[in-house]
């Protein structure tokens, strides 16, 4: 009989290859076949439990008679199940052979973060986040207060080494803010040495330590150790410690994803009570909490721009060339509506404003763009930086959270859902894994809070028993999520008035009526 768990384990292992193959059309077909095999295994296991496994667990003569009667009544289903199992085995064998024949596992990665081997191989790849390092002060809106706050934190306060964190969702301006603070003359003059280190999703501790040493030496016009790339981790830690001893330093770690990051790197950063500072930017509140557990720490949580600030920034981008940054009356309403959809996210406001600055200032054309904004995000390459930056947040999610996040995407924009309802739905769909000593409800609640900590879900109303959560993941997270949903066949939305009983619908894993 089919082992219900052996095949899904193999499928899950091969599914991890997805990150490196989705960018290649030739391999997408193979990935889809792997997923189809997993779905077929799931379905046949359920059928087995219904038709054959139903009578297990009972004992006694009456139970024996029921089993015999059930066995006599179900020869056809049992034969069909056995036949389907053989078909699945053949299908899985063909998939594996095709994978080996075309060497599909060794395709380069297209969805990992920068600094990964896949991205290094793709010489044409450009990190859309790099632009945030080169923004002029005149282009900034709503950053002056947090900038002054961070500068004060860095140059004032106790002599102990303190870790400061800037946390917020992707595209909210964490790197821009940290960079402006890092380059501020008051900050530069306050410290003996400084280094800016970009961490990202794929990193090694040894690589970061080498980067720190190189940046520190370059700043002082000194040569790094001649055997820098031959040193092991312990030697690198000692070298960094030796350089920083008795110095007041500042090191910025930009774009930290790993929750264990600080525990891995802190030993190299000495604290000689000279007023040294560490500044970390991250999308994940759990990274911040891990720093607070082991060091002096303070947190600045970036807030979305107000509607007025958003309009100010949008006008600077959309009307800078022909209206001196002022919005014509005919475009005021549609501009306000477009800005409202940006949810106070600077990245979205800037990119869309720049795109519209190149369009005719025709109200009808702008209304059409506003109405089709989600479609524009998918088809217009000039807007790709928004979905790419936000897509990193999805790519960094563990496997079990991706399905939960995509399930949230089924709700309408700005919809508010009670946590109990959402948790029950996740459990019913099989998204929640059993954990020793915890109920499924407890585990699902942990999933929900992890999405909140990653700034992918907003808590609209807090409650001890049943909080209210908003699906305002910002509309710009929906297009990449929707594309992934469609590829993975996670769900199919239908209307209560229309039921399309086609093979395509039946093959979708989840059907949600609205």
Question: How far, in Å, are 155, 243, 478 from residue 191 at the CA level?
Answer: 8, 14, 43
Same fold, 128-301 and 397-513: no
The listed range with the strongest mean pLDDT (19-28, 324-333, 486-495) is 324-333
Task: Give the CATH fold of the 128-301 domain.
Answer: Rossmann fold (3.40.50)
| Per-residue pLDDT band at 234 (split at 50, 70, 90) | very high
What pLDDT is stored for residue 33 in this prediction?
Answer: 78
Gap between the terminal Cα atoms of the chain: 39
In angstroms and rounded to an integer, the radius of gyration of the C-alpha atoms of the chain is 27
Full 3-state SS string of 351-392: HHHHHHHCCCCCHHHHHHHHHCHHHHHHHCHHHHHHHHHHHH
How far, in Å, CA of 435 to CA of 400, rounded? 13
Tokens of 389: 């930056």
Mean pLDDT of the chain: 77
Tokens of 215: 């940046």
In the chain, where are the structural domains located? 6-106, 128-301, 316-385, 397-513
Tokens of 259: 């929750």
How far, in Å, CA of 86 to CA of 47, rounded? 15
Tokens of 273: 């009570």
Task: Give the CATH fold of the 397-513 domain.
Answer: Arc Repressor Mutant, subunit A (1.10.10)
User: Average pLDDT in the 225-230 region?
Assistant: 89
What pLDDT is stored for residue 215 in this prediction?
Answer: 93
| Per-residue pLDDT band at 23 (split at 50, 70, 90) | very low
Query: pTM of the prediction?
Result: 0.68
Which is higher by pLDDT, 388 or 422?
422
For residue range 159-200, list pLDDT tens digits in order.
Answer: 999 999 999 988 888 999 999 999 999 999 999 999 999 997
Q: Has residue 54 got a pLDDT over 70?
A: no
For residue range 444-503, list pLDDT tens digits in order.
Answer: 999 998 888 888 877 766 655 567 666 555 455 555 455 555 555 555 544 433 343 344
Tokens of 28: 């997408």
């Amino acid at each position: 009989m089919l082992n219900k768990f052996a095949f899904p384990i193999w499928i899950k292992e091969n599914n991890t290859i997805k990150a490196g193959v989705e960018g290649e059309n030739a391999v997408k077909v193979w990935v889809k076949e792997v997923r189809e095999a997993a779905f077929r295994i799931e379905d046949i296991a359920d059928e087995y439990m219904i038709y054959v496994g139903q009578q297990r667990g009972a004992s006694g003569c009456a139970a024996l008679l029921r089993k015999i009667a059930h066995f006599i009544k179900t020869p056809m289903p049992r034969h069909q199940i056995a036949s389907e199992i053989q078909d699945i085995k053949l299908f899985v064998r063909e998939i594996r052979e095709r994978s080996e024949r075309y060497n599909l596992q060794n395709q380069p990665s297209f969805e990992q973060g920068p600094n990964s081997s896949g991205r290094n191989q793709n010489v044409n790849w450009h990190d859309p986040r790099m632009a945030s390092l080169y923004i002029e002060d005149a282009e900034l809106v709503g950053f002056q207060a947090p900038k002054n706050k961070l500068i004060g934190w860095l140059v004032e306060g106790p002599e102990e080494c303190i870790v400061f964190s800037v946390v917020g969702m992707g595209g909210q301006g964490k790197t821009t803010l940290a960079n402006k603070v890092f380059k501020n003359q008051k900050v530069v003059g306050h410290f003996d040495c400084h280094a800016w280190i970009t961490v990202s999703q794929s990193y090694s501790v040894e690589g970061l330590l080498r980067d720190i040493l190189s940046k520190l030496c370059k700043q002082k016009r000194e040569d790094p150790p001649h055997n820098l790339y031959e040193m092991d981790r312990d030697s690198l830690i000692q070298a960094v410690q030796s350089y920083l001893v008795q110095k007041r330093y500042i090191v910025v770690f930009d774009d930290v994803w790993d929750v264990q990051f600080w525990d891995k790197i802190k030993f190299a950063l000495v604290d000689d009570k000279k007023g040294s500072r560490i500044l970390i930017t991250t999308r994940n509140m759990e990274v911040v909490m891990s720093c607070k557990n082991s060091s002096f720490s303070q947190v600045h949580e970036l807030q979305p721009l107000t509607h007025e600030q958003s309009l100010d920034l949008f006008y600077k981008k959309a009307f800078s060339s022909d209206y001196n940054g002022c919005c014509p009356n005919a475009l005021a309403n549609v501009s306000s509506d477009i800005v409202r959809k940006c949810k106070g996210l600077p990245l979205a406001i800037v990119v869309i404003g720049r795109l519209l600055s190149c369009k005719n200032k025709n109200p009808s054309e702008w209304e059409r763009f506003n109405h089709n904004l989600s479609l524009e995000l998918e088809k217009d390459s000039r807007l790709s930086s928004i979905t790419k930056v936000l897509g990193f947040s999805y790519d960094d999610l563990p496997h079990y959270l991706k399905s939960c996040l995509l399930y949230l995407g089924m709700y309408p924009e700005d919809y508010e859902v009670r946590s109990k309802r959402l948790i029950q739905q996740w459990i019913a769909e099989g998204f929640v894994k059993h954990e020793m000593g915890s109920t499924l409800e407890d585990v699902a609640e942990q999933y929900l809070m992890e999405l909140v900590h990653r700034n992918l879900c907003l808590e609209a109303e807090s409650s001890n028993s049943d909080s209210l959560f908003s699906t305002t993941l910002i509309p710009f997270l929906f297009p990449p999520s929707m594309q992934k949903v469609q590829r993975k066949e996670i769900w199919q939305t239908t209307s209560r008035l229309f039921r399309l009983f086609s093979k395509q619908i039946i093959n979708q894993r989840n059907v949600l009526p609205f």
